[in-house]
Each structure stands twice: as structure tokens, then as C-alpha cells.
Structure 1
Amino acid sequence: MISMDFWMQVLLLAVLFDIVFGEPHASIHPVVWMGKLVNLLVRRAPVHHRRLYGLFMVIFCIGIAVLVGLVITSAGTGLMGLIVAAFFLKSSFSIRMLLASALVIKRDLDEGRIEKVRGDLKTFVGRDTSDLNEHQSASAVIESTAESFVDGILSPLFYFLLFGLPGALACRMINTLDSMVGYKKEPFIDLGYASARLDDLANWLPSRLSLVFIFIASVFFGKPLDAIRTCIRDHNKTASPNSGWPMSAVSGALRVRLEKMGYHVLGDGYSNPEPFQIKRAVNIVGFSSFLVIAGVYVAGKVPLVWF
């Protein structure tokens, strides 16, 4: 059995990779490979029995992710094994890109480039951005940053702690499947059913744990008691059973009203967000991410936690 110390070295090196280098080139990015695998299976989807085929897609894709994780895990604890494991673990989470992207949009809002913001937001949020004003754009960025804290940071590291590299890669594959086919509209309503339900299940506990980290971060960068109050009141107002937890917690921590037109309002009664509050949201999510990394590292030193 590989020692826990080795896996904690993998964790720290993966975080260093993320901070220093950010995302690897698309040609060598494991998540891009995951997306190509999903696209290949989607193109081969039958006309009938699409829900059953969608279940096959989930089992097959997650099986590949777990197999890759097991192969890398079995490669040994030498320097090359450490680097390869850290590279693949880093691909399962993204801190630098998430926070940097939010700050770029804040800068553009500060400079009045609303058309550029609307264009950039198309790849940042799942909503029509063509008519968003400054407040709505700031709201979209804050919501997405908070939600991505769970999907893109907390969940993969949570499953890394529980199941090692195979767990982190499986979590990233689940999120990739959901983001590509987990829509409640054609042509994915049946094909993506299993992917969406599994994503809800995989993120159920991490999304609720996110309140703990956001609360602690809010002690330094926001209103911690308001984070709890707003989260308890508004977490079930979103279509997703999970995304409302981090989004409503950040809404309360910043005391801002977050609205997705025609879908939900979080923090009703607070003022509309201003661009400068994007930076505060980034501070909360950034510090929360640090707490997650520290928590995984400390927990990884406890003998009762095994990979």
C-alpha cells in the first residue's frame, strides 16, 4: 500500500501546478480527453432506449476514469510517479482559472465593456447573457464562482480524500458528463438522465459541507452569520438540489441579491451586486479552497483515512 505521505505530496504538488501553471494545454488535458470520450459515445447514441444507453455511458466513462486512476496509482512512488499523479489530480480541480476568470469579468465591468462581458459570460454561466446589465452580470459571475467551488474544487478533493486518485478522476468524469449531457431538454432529456442524477448524488454531501468552509471564510471576507441564515432560508430555491447551498451562502456572506431571471432569487431583500463584490466573492471562494486543501491534508494524516 502506498503511504499517505506520498498522497499528501501528490496533493501539494497538484495545488502548486494549479497555482503556477493553471490549466494544461487542451491537447494533454485529461478533462478534454474525457469530453472527447463523451462526445464519441453521444454520437453513437441510438434513437431508442436512450435512457438505458445513457446509463451505459455513465458506467463506461466512470469505469475508464477509475481504471486510469488505478493504473497511475500502481505506477509507484518515484519522482515520475509523483509528477504524473499530481498532474492528473490537478486536472480534477481548477482554482486559478475559476478565480482569474471571475476577476477578468470584474475588470471589464469596471471599464464599462458590457458587450465583452456578455460574450465572456456565455462560457461562464448556463443562461442567456445577451441582455444582462451590470448588476445581472455581476450576479451571474458570483453565482457561478460559488457553484464551481463545489463542482470544481471541493467535490474532487473530497473524493480524493476518500478514494484516492481514482475517486477524484471519477468525480471529474461525473461532472463532465453532467455538463455535457445532463440537460432537461432534448436531445439530452433521456440520454443525460443518469448523468444528471449521479451528479446530484455525488455532490449532495460536498455541497452541504461547502457551508462550513464559506462560513469560516466569511469571518474574514464577509458576514458569516448572514451566510448561514441566507443559506438555510434559500438553499432550496434553485432547480438543482445542490447548487443553492454555496450560492445562497455566498449571497448572505456578501449581503447581495443573486438572481437568475425566470428561475430563482437568492438573498431577496439584499441590494443588487456591484462589480467590486465579485472580488469579495473571489476572496471567499479562494480562502474556502485553501481551507479545503488544508482540511484534506490534515485528514490525510489521520491513520483512519485510507486510499
Structure 2
Amino acid sequence: MMKGAEPVGGKHLDLLIGGASPTRFVPITSLRPADSPRLDGEDVEHIQMLADVETRLPPILVHRATMRVIDGMHRLRAAQLRGDECIEVQFFDGSAQEAFVLGVKANISHGRPLPLSDRIRAAERIMASHPTWSDRVIAAAAGLSARSVANLRRRLAGDLDEVGEVQARTGRDGRVRPVDSAEGRLRAADFIEKHPDASLRVIARSVGLSAATVRDVRQRVERGESPVPSSRIKRQGAANGGAGRGGGPATEPDLIGIEALVHGLKADPSLRLTDSGRRLLRWVLTKVLSPQEWQEVSDGLPPHAAYVLSDVARRCATEWQRVADDLEQRTRKMA
């Protein structure tokens, strides 16, 4: 019998569908219609063609717990059309969600192919039921490209957030990787700073990144750069609609960018190895404030102090803006 214990992703999915499990004949009346990914229903002409085939048709795939057809509705209808009382089936013992994925995978790999619209709808459904699957795993199951799945995930991000924030996803090789490695890169930079002699493998296991990513972080830190590539920070800022730069309150993606920039300053040898540089770093670290820190200290703020503190915050923001303008003028003169 087919087993449903292993995750239905990548090679596991192929093994579940292609396994040489025993088959048996069951009464047609005991079966329920498929939870089919086909939006246009069954093809009458295809059913008639199968009914006219004299050779033995492959067994259909059935979810044992519900007796619902996973793959083979056209073969089932053809058997009914011929007047058969029983049909050969292969049982699957996994969950209903896994059964749907198997049905999608089977429908794109043989017989009458799924139209693009059906594959997109199937990918949406798989994405909702398996939010921790990577784009490549979902793409393999739905017959789409990984890029198409990634674009679809971004388009559906608001709806998918309702099921909870996903921190990591499982790839086709079964390995779990963080959704956004920026936070992991920051953890790696901290680990490297505290344990400079640690091997790449030790750091990778400790922070949940690949050894290749840790190597890149170490090289960036050694060069005095931010552990998070600037392109990633820009993408996060754009995804956030420019928040934190005149576009409204800063949110978590911006915080990752701020922390990455501060890490880059701390790793700069021209700053951390000179007295004036260390003094500047200490000054910066006491001035940088994240909304999370503010939330932690603002709970006990009395109402009468809120007016004073709001004025202090606005004045500080004005001074920081002047600092930014002054620094930009300096960089233009040096360019």
C-alpha cells in the first residue's frame, strides 16, 4: 500500500505516485468523485475513447480514508460507461491535502494535461495548504516554473499571511531554509564576531544558514561591508513601500536594513581599530532606536509626558535629518 508518512515534496512526491504498491478491485459504487484540479470538469469525448479501448487500463488512484478518487476519473467514467461493476485501484493512505497534491502531479505527468489556468489554481491551493513548501517544490507539483510560483506567492502574500508568518521552507532536497536570510546573516555576523575561529559548518549549524552563505557573510565582514547585501536591503525597502523614508512608520524589513548597516559600520576596520572610530561607533549605537525597543519602554509612559516626549522625538528627527544632509554633501564633494 502507498504510504503517506513522508513529506510529499520533491523526490518523495515522485516515489508516492510511482511506487509499485499492490492493487485490488473494488466496487465502483464505493468510490467518490475526485477533488479534481480540473476546473472544466470531465471530457466526454475522452471518456468515450477510453471506454472503447480494449486493452487493460492502468489502475486508478484512490484516497483510502475518504474513498475519493485522486487520479483516474476519466477511467472510472469509462468503466461505468462499459457497465463494469468493479475497477482496479491503488490506495493512498496520506492526508486529504497530500491526496490533492498527488492528483495535481498525476494530472500534469500523464493522460490529458492540465491547462495553465488549472495549474495556477492548483498552485494557489497547494500554497495555502503547504505554506512551508519552497517555490520549487510547489512548481514541481503544479507543473509551473519556480519563478511563476514566486510571483504568485507575492501576489497572494496578503491572503497567505492569514495562516501565520512562515520563517522557513522545505526544499526539494528536504532541507529547511529560512525564507529571508537577512536575519540569519545578522546572526552569523554576531556569531563570527564572538567566535572568529569557528568553522563554516559550525556557524552554519548554529544560525541555520548554508555554509556558502556563511562564507559570504565572513568575507563581507572581513572587507568591512554589511553582512546583508545592499540589493537585499533595497528589495526589502521597496517591498515595504518605502516606509521609514518619508513613507510612514518603519516596519520589520526596514529594521533588518538598519541593523545590517550598523553591523557594517561595526565591522569596518577604519572605525573599530581607531580611537576616534570606536568613539563614533559608541555614539551611533546609543542614538539608533528601533520601534521594537520603543514598544518595550513606552508601556509605562504617563499621558502628561507624551506631549513632551513627542516634541523631543521630532527635534531629534530634525537633527538626524541635518546630519544626513551634511553627510550627503560631504560625499558629493569627495566624489
Q: Calculate the TM-score normalised by the size of structure 1.
A: 0.27
Greater fraction helix: 1
TM-score by length of 2: 0.25
